Amino acid sequence: MDSLQYLLLLLGCLAITLPLEPVARVYRRPARLAGTLLPVVAVFVAWDLIATARGHWWFSERFTTGATVLGLPVEEWLFFLVVPVCTLLTYEAVGRRRAR
């Protein structure tokens, strides 16, 4: 069960922010969402690849599934997608509510 903790945390983040979609309308604008995510993913994946190659940090095998892409755990790749989406959902929902 420990190996699923990272994935479950990401799933929880998505589940908590999903109800904001009717107000935020983030998923309904996929081109804008992709334009927001691509630079974030590119920068932080590069950062992670460099930092792990240099031994500055690592990922616990206990808390990841063991599946990797380019040497990074799948959970880390998902983190770079999920956290910005959740942040964007929250930001857009709050902004739209304040505008009303």
What tens digit of pLDDT does each residue of 1-52 get?
899 999 999 999 999 999 999 999 999 999 999 999 999 999 999 999 999 9
Question: Residue 2's pLDDT is what?
Answer: 93
Question: Residue 68's pLDDT is what?
Answer: 96
Question: Residue 76's pLDDT is what?
Answer: 96
Question: Residue 97's pLDDT is what?
Answer: 80
Secondary structure string (H, E, C) spanning the chain: CHHHHHHHHHHHHHHHHHHHHHHHCCCCCHHHHHHHHHHHHHHHHHHHHHHHHCCCCCCCHHHCCCCEECCEEHHHHHHHHHHHHHHHHHHHHHHHHHHC
Question: Residue 30's pLDDT is what?
Answer: 96
Question: Residue 58's pLDDT is what?
Answer: 94
